[in-house]
Structure 1
Amino acid sequence: MNPKPPKQKKTLILVNLGGPRSTEEIEVFLTDLFTDPYVFDLPLPEFLRLPLARFIAKKRTPKVKKTYESMGFGGGSPLVSETEKQAKTLESILNQKTNIDWIVKIAMTCGYPHIRDPEFEKPSPDTIYLPLYPQYSRSTVLSTLNHLEKKFKECPAGSGGYVPTFSLDPKFHKISAKFIYEFFNGELNSKDFLHFPKEKPNIDWKGLDLVFSAHGVPMRLIHKGDRYMQEIESSVKGITEQLRLFGFRGNTYISYQSKVGPAKWTEPSSISMIESLSQEEKEIAVYPISFVSDHLETLEEIGEQFKDIALKSGAKSFTRIPAFGTYLPFMEYLAERVLVGDSSIHHCICKEMGGESLPTCRFK
């Protein structure tokens, strides 16, 4: 009897921005962040921009250290460990759905494990990269593609080893609306989430003022052709339409958080939006539209800072809706995206979505 042929092997690499796993990694994380030309984009030559970036990273480290210490995760961020949970879940789903032997790893563009490490091989149909950003932005997706292009001398888009963003997909809108609905109706498993409310919110969620808070980006990136704001707006429109089918009748708003430095960023700011709604004595909920796992921006900035501002400014109530984490419908959706990969890409998405083609673009 002939033995069964060995299973085909494939590797999926989940890419996220990253976060320090401990206090000791904070300066390394910030240095990676600020030296990235697609994140810390300044009209300066590199011999000036890089020393300035390193100086800012060093200067900000003590302040950031205090913030991380207050979160209760041992002085670091839970983003890496939360991404590892997503990787394990996806690995299980992909191995169940296919006759392929899948291994799912995680890589970060800032901090560890870093995407430039040798273990992360060249994108191909057998080594697939999935950036965990719903919306395209120069500061996230183009940054990821640039890291990979520098390493392998080839832009991954169109290689068969890249999964494009998904914020415009109606199925993503349906899953997002279902997640929000299940959160307010007590149908999520609290053990799957960080800082989950101990009791079901005692509010009429259908009449809430719902703020979709996205990570902000400098307007300089938007002026370069970044379609991030358009993608946020399309995401919110699609999710709101689906929420209406669940009976939601409240108002929805878009705002931007996490501004750094004096430059003009995307507006309105989440803080000003929440202050304004709170002064009208609204019941407010905030959903992190640009994040798929909980970390500093969702737990500390939304869950603590925004909540304090809202309640002190007169809001009747404030609710932080968690990020997806390992929410099964979302994980299954990502698995579907992985199996399709970038087969639909036949042109330069970097130019279309970010305003710039990378040097080795295969579609030039």
Structure 2
Amino acid sequence: MSIPTAAPKVAIVLFNLGGPDKPEAVRPFLVNLFTDPAILRVPFFVRPWLARIIAYARTKPATANYALLGGKSPLLELTEQQARALEAALPDLQARCFVAMRYWHPFSDAVARAVRDWDPDEVVLLPLYPQYSTTTTGSSLTAWREAAAQAGLVKPVTSLCCYHSDPGFAAATAAIVRRSYDEARADLAADVPLRVLFSAHGLPETIVKRGDPYQFQIERTVAAVTRQLGVDGLDTTICYQSRATPQKWIGPSTEQELHRAAHDKVAVLVVPIAFVSEHSETLVELDVEYRHLAEKAGLPGYFRAPTQSADPGFIAALASLVRGARARGPGLCSFAGGRTCPRPHGDCPHARAAATDAATDIETVPRAA
């Protein structure tokens, strides 16, 4: 199908974390990660020094993990696959997807220049983080605004903050989980129970208590996906992985839930609910480390659902989100249009906008569950 020449020329910027592209990049990648004030929340004059100490301590184990993946992260290649699939899913637009990574190449500054040179009619910022957090989408949006200003990129911009319980996203995710659930169930004896562990990346508890809506949105995602699964009496729990600092993190941890499953003598299906692409935290942490822990603990079965990656249903959901965001016009929007987080979540980007703009619509906020 040919694209009409009058179709809008739309640059879609896909935000993701990024990952080292060779063993020598592991330490600078970690330095970039921990130098981010959204990640390491300490006084600015301490952060560069402390970031290098943490990166130094984590370089050896991180390098070992990436060695299991061929010495680099697969995230860039997988995100590029998603970008090309999304372009194909938008035949009514002159759409071009650009990938902007937060902590390794391609960084936002280079991507902003590439978008400027392509000269689109408008820009849509699409995070590959379904749930908003100040540490992920928030940090990426800040980096993009700075990069766009430096590049002289002045175009109408629509920023999609989250799509945690978007019906299309939930349905596509549920279809993937249901296939994995049915495969796991078929592999188990009829008398062995199966529990679904929805595992998300963790956050320090202090960040959530300060108003970050991430945990609330994780819960909304799980509720939406579980409804779409349609399994009567489904045994589910939410847990969190990838703790990176000594402070208290939100829980329960995925490790704790594996031990509880062993105690309850149930098999588990682990669903990486906050990741939409395979990378070290799924391919190593879930597939190697937690599988070993499950076997050592004596679980009767350990299964893992794949991430969405370039699944056609997921790509179709992203295309629908792009169309919905464009229909709402330039500015900040969620999958539902306005704010979706209860008032206590003051770090919701809509809440921050409301603090400086009394006209911001907050009537779409549902009651807290």
Q: Within 5 Å, which residues of 2 pair with 1:26-175?
A: 26-42=26-42, 44=43, 46-71=44-69, 74-95=70-91, 98=92, 100-117=93-110, 118-121=112-115, 126-152=122-148, 160-175=157-172
The alignment status of 1:240 with 2:226, answered yes or no, reads yes
SS at match of 2:95: strand
The equivalent of 2:19 in structure 1 is 19
SS at match of 1:306: helix
The alignment status of 1:263 with 2:255, answered yes or no, reads no
SS at match of 1:138: coil
For 1:230 and 1:354, the matched residues in 2 are separated by 14
Structure 2, unaligned stretches of length 5 or more? 361-369
For 2:81 and 2:200, the matched residues in 1 are separated by 23
For 2:354 and 2:222, the matched residues in 1 are separated by 33
Contact preservation (8 Å) 2:9, 2:120:
no
Contact preservation (8 Å) 1:278, 1:311:
no
Contact preservation (8 Å) 1:166, 1:172:
yes
SS at match of 2:66: helix
Contact preservation (8 Å) 1:125, 1:161:
no
Measure how far apart 1:170 and its partner are: 3.1
For 2:5 and 2:298, the matched residues in 1 are separated by 66
Measure how far apart 1:124 and its partner are: 8.3
The alignment status of 1:357 with 2:352, answered yes or no, reads yes
For 1:355 and 1:259, the matched residues in 2 are separated by 28
Alpha-carbon distance change, 358 to 47 in structure 1, aligned in 2, over 3 angstroms = farther
SS at match of 1:172: helix
The equivalent of 2:306 in structure 1 is 322
Alpha-carbon distance change, 303 to 277 in structure 1, aligned in 2, over 3 angstroms = same
Contact preservation (8 Å) 2:12, 2:95:
yes
For 1:200 and 1:209, the matched residues in 2 are separated by 10
Which residue of 272, 281, 286 maps to 1:288? 272
Alpha-carbon distance change, 5 to 146 in structure 1, aligned in 2, over 3 angstroms = closer
Measure how far apart 1:351 and its partner are: 4.6
Alpha-carbon distance change, 125 to 37 in structure 1, aligned in 2, over 3 angstroms = farther
User: Residue 352 of structure 2 aligns to which amino acid in structure 1?
Assistant: S
For 1:228 and 1:116, the matched residues in 2 are separated by 26
SS at match of 1:298: helix
Provide TM-score, normalisation by structure 1: 0.83
Measure how far apart 1:237 and its partner are: 1.5
Measure how far apart 1:323 and its partner are: 0.4
Measure how far apart 1:239 and its partner are: 1.4
Measure how far apart 1:172 and its partner are: 2.4
User: Residue 57 of structure 1 aligns to which amino acid in structure 2?
Assistant: A
- Number of matched pairs: 338
> What do the CA deviations read for 1:302-347 (whole angstroms, capped 9, x no partner)?
1111111111112100001110111101100100101122627387
What is the identity percentage for the equivalent residue pairs of Structure 1 and Structure 2? Answer: 30
Alpha-carbon distance change, 211 to 184 in structure 1, aligned in 2, over 3 angstroms = closer
For 2:293 and 2:121, the matched residues in 1 are separated by 48
Tell me whether 55-64 or 101-110 shows the greater mean CA deviation: 55-64
Tell me whether 341-350 or 276-285 shows the greater mean CA deviation: 341-350
For 1:295 and 1:200, the matched residues in 2 are separated by 26
> What do the CA deviations read for 1:107-141 (whole angstroms, capped 9, x no partner)?
10110111122435479862221110011111111
For 2:346 and 2:115, the matched residues in 1 are separated by 25
User: Residue 33 of structure 2 aligns to which amino acid in structure 1?
Assistant: L
For 2:57 and 2:356, the matched residues in 1 are separated by 37
For 2:223 and 2:10, the matched residues in 1 are separated by 36
The alignment status of 1:279 with 2:254, answered yes or no, reads no
For 1:202 and 1:267, the matched residues in 2 are separated by 29
